[in-house]
Amino acid sequence: MALRDIIIIPDARLRAVSAPVERIDDDTKRLMDDMLETMYDAPGIGLAAIQIAVPKRVVVLDVAREGEEPQPLALANPEIVWFSPEMRVYQEGCLSIPEYFEDVERPARVRARYLGRDGAVRELDADGLLATALQHEIDHLNGVLFIDHISRLKRERVWKKFVKAARREAEGGPHAHPHHDEREM
Ligand code: NI
């Protein structure tokens, strides 16, 4: 397994629509394993392949809290096949938009269909944080970020901040990576 670099906005690759995985071969399994390792290291509760610049429809998740038994999930070609009518608001964060958190409203429960690491077609009923994280990661596969679900004013503000930071970094200036406790995905 290997740690991969996570790309952040304004990297244009985050807007790519990822391609389906044709079958779960050794490369796909290695990708899933690398993604889980990278997600745990970040640390985060979810990661889509495009966040490590691989435009394939693969996501990993683990919403277990510290001290709880890990619940790693690796999903290829995940699709939401059912959304609950009731909604839920959660303060989301994203490893590709570090240190930024904002409330997003999404369906409270979903059912997803996907290919598991063993190649089998599976279904997953999710509620709570897992339902939110699953929708957040599937959005990534379609080039959608959680800031697309907030007001345009807030989105433009955070986007500009990251454009400026990228420019500063390119010029070799100082940049801060403060510690945080919130959970990103
Ligand atoms: Ni994210």
Residue 148 φ then ψ, to 5°: -75, -15
Asked whether the beta carbons of 28 and 180 are under 8 A apart, the reply is no
Domain membership of residue 7 (yes or no) is no
Going from the Cα of 84 to the center of ligand 1, the distance in angstroms, rounded, reads 22
Q: What is the pLDDT of residues 33-77, one digit of tens each?
A: 999 999 999 999 999 999 999 999 999 999 999 889 999 999 999
Residue 68 CB-half CA count within 13 A: 8
Distance between CA 181 and CA 177 in Å, rounded?
13
Domain membership of residue 1 (yes or no) is no
The pLDDT of residue 8 is 97
Domain membership of residue 87 (yes or no) is yes
Share of the chain above pLDDT 70, in %: 95
Residue 128's domain is classified under what CATH number? 3.90.45.10
Going from the Cα of 45 to the center of ligand 1, the distance in angstroms, rounded, reads 9
Domain membership of residue 145 (yes or no) is yes
The pLDDT of residue 11 is 97
Instruction: Please state the domain count of the chain.
Output: 1
Q: Whole domain around residue 32: which residue ranges? A: 12-170
Distance between CA 105 and CA 63 in Å, rounded?
18
Domain membership of residue 149 (yes or no) is yes
| 92 among known catalytic residues | no
Residue 163 pLDDT exceeds 70: yes
Domain membership of residue 180 (yes or no) is no
Going from the Cα of 121 to the center of ligand 1, the distance in angstroms, rounded, reads 24
Domain membership of residue 5 (yes or no) is no
Cβ burial, residue 144 (10 Å; 0-12/13-18/19+): middle
Domain membership of residue 6 (yes or no) is no
**120 bridge partner residues:** none
Helices (H), the chain: 26-41, 128-141, 152-170
Q: What is the pLDDT of residues 117-138, one digit of tens each?
A: 999 999 999 999 999 999 999 9
**10 Å Cβ neighbour count for 58?**
29
